[in-house]
Amino acid sequence: MKSEGPQRLLILVGPTGVGKTDISIHLARNLSGEVVSADSRLVYRMMDIGTAKPDREAREDIPHHLIDIVDPDEEYTIKRFEEEAREVVRDILRRGRTPIVVGGSGLYVRALTDGVFDGPGKDTVLRKRLMEEAEKKGSTVLWERLMDVDPEKAEQIGPANTVRLVRALEVYELTGSPMSELEKGAEPFEVSSARFGLTRSSIELYRIVEERVDRMMELGFLDEVKDLVAKGYGDSQPVRSSLGYRELIAHIEGEHSLAEAVRLIKRNTRHFAKRQRTWFRKDKDITWIDISGRHDTAKIASEIEGLAK
């Protein structure tokens, strides 16, 4: 008999490759739950292998939300995620089920729980200028500029996320105020949450990451990227900026060999996982569970379920 589960939002976070997807499936089964993705790339259709989407069997077994909802050339904003995710969570609760938010996108999780300020609309000319500058000089130049005017936001974003750096600088130039200050006027979500984070030792996590990249390649990741390029999505920002996709596009365009592309994907994914851990460690409301050396996902899920009561 399944337990009723907590009458609140359950959040499961952690770095890429740590094991969130499998554990979330067990949690959903135990708690009559439904999974709400908080991943900035799972929203895109046709980007399956490289984003490690839950497979079709898992999604048929457990309802999943906010996956495959836009095409790879569409803009999907954090504000849109906040609005759609909150409505999904409310609907799940209304139906007497447990919403389980799962993801590694810290900004998305924060948007859901803390809200996003309703900032100025985009300035196409300004964005184009900033993007061109990043392409010519590197995103670190934008990050250093943001550090001067909004160090809090710069620390949150990091030097590698060009799109979010451009948006933060755009907001500052259009409003004259730091984005981090404006965000403090956001509306927190009325639904309370229990937050859990999964972690593994660095050595184990990095090994899992590298093995996963190899498995993605075996599953046809390169063909997936080639198909996106053939359909005209190769130059779209969501594809070009996504980990794994950008390295394979560079290979397709002759910048480096396939072996070098795979090496770069593994290296960049390790760096990304490290940044994710650093981000989530700042959230003092997260209860951390070290699952180093553990692969009994059902038992780990039961442990989280007990802590959530």
Q: What's the pLDDT at 184? A: 78
What tens digit of pLDDT does each residue of 67-113 get? 999 999 998 988 899 999 999 999 999 999 999 999 999 889 999 99
Contact 36, 85 (CB under 8 A): yes
Cite the beta strand spans of 187-271 per DSSP E.
193-199
Strands 9-13 and 286-290: unpaired
Residue after which a domain boundary falls, among 136, 153, 184: 184
Show the domain range for 144: 124-184
| Residue 164 and residue 281 in one domain | no
Query: Which pairs from 130-139 meet CB under 8 Å and 24+ separation?
Result: 130/165, 130/166, 130/169, 130/170, 131/162, 131/166, 134/162, 134/165, 134/166, 139/165
Task: Return d(Cα 41, Cα 20) in angstroms, integer.
Answer: 16
Higher pLDDT, 305 or 8: 305
| Residue 100 and residue 230 in one domain | yes
| Residue 18 and residue 97 in one domain | yes
The CB-side HSE value for 246 (13 A sphere, CA atoms) comes to: 13
Task: Count the domains in the chain.
Answer: 2
For 38, 77, 237, 309, the CA distances from 163, given in Å and listed in that order, are: 18, 11, 8, 39
Domain membership flag for residue 3: no
Q: Is the pLDDT confidence value at 3 over 60?
A: no
Cβ count within 10 A of residue 3: 11
How remote is the C-alpha of 245 from its chain's centroid? 15
Calculate mean pLDDT across residues 196-203: 97
Mean of per-residue pLDDT scores for the chain: 92
Cα dihedral value 213, 215, 217, 223, nearest 10: -120
Q: Which residues contact 101 (CB under 8 A, 6 or more apart)?
A: 9, 10, 11, 12, 35, 36, 37, 38, 85, 89, 109, 112, 193
Q: For the chain, how many helices (H) and strands (E)?
A: 15, 6
CATH of the domain at 206: 3.40.50.300
Domain membership flag for residue 131: yes
Higher pLDDT, 237 or 203: 203
| Residue 112 and residue 193 in one domain | yes
Q: Which two tokens stand for residue 77?
A: 């904003």
The CA-to-CA distance between both ends of the chain, in Å, stands at: 17
| Residue 209 and residue 243 in one domain | yes
